[in-house]
Amino acid sequence: MAVQPDSWIKKKALKKKMISPFIDHLIREHDGEKVISYGLSSYGYDLRVSDEFKVFTNAKNGTVDPKGFTDDEFIEYKGDVCIVPPNSFALAVSVEYFKIPRDVITMCIGKSTYARCGIIVNVTPFEPEWEGQVTLEISNTTPLPAKIYAGEGLAQVLFFKADVECDVSYADRSGKYQKQRGITVPRM
């Protein structure tokens, strides 16, 4: 298994619509203003966060339960900048829609620009034949409010091509997050 270079990613993205919309180069500036980079990088793709967020709050003294998740524990927010409260957490969604080939697995990791500010994006794989928009988990580990910029880079996806295809893909087992759109909360 080997990480794949930008030329392989570009070919797959264009031919198989692996990433849509696809930006075939790294964007660091938009309309004359610096942005947190997004688009095709050397061995991966820097995805953008959309303007949809679910910010966790403890207004009702609830408990976050992955087996019984309720919408009571967060507020929905839509905008160009989301403020994640100190020592808190938010969910967001990627602008891009991904279709992962059967012989590929990815790792989605946070960008260092945010990590150096104490803002962590959960590391997660996209399994073979998974497709959908990516639900992003953002943790603000600082004692200060943190800004997340919609439409800009938030995480990098690294692509690893296997020597042989997997026996059972995410699609084969009807994974519960298959073809998700928008922010998808935990499912059982």
Going from the C-alpha of 132 to that of each of 16, 68, 76, 170, 183, the distances in angstroms are 14, 23, 21, 12, 11
Instruction: State yes or no: is 137 an active-site residue.
Output: yes
Query: Would you give the DSSP letter of residue 171?
Result: T
Which helix (H) or strand (E) element contains residue 87? none
Nearest to 159 by CA among 111, 120, 109: 109
d(CA 23, CA 6): 11
Amino acid code (one letter) for 81: V
Under 8 Å between Cβ of 19 and 4: no
Going from the C-alpha of 122 to that of each of 27, 92, 125, 135, 187, the distances in angstroms are 23, 12, 10, 10, 17
The 3-state DSSP class for residue 10 equals: helix
> Among residues 76, 137, 152, 165, which one is catalytic?
137
State the residue for tokens 């004359």. Answer: 32
* Residues that are catalytic: 137
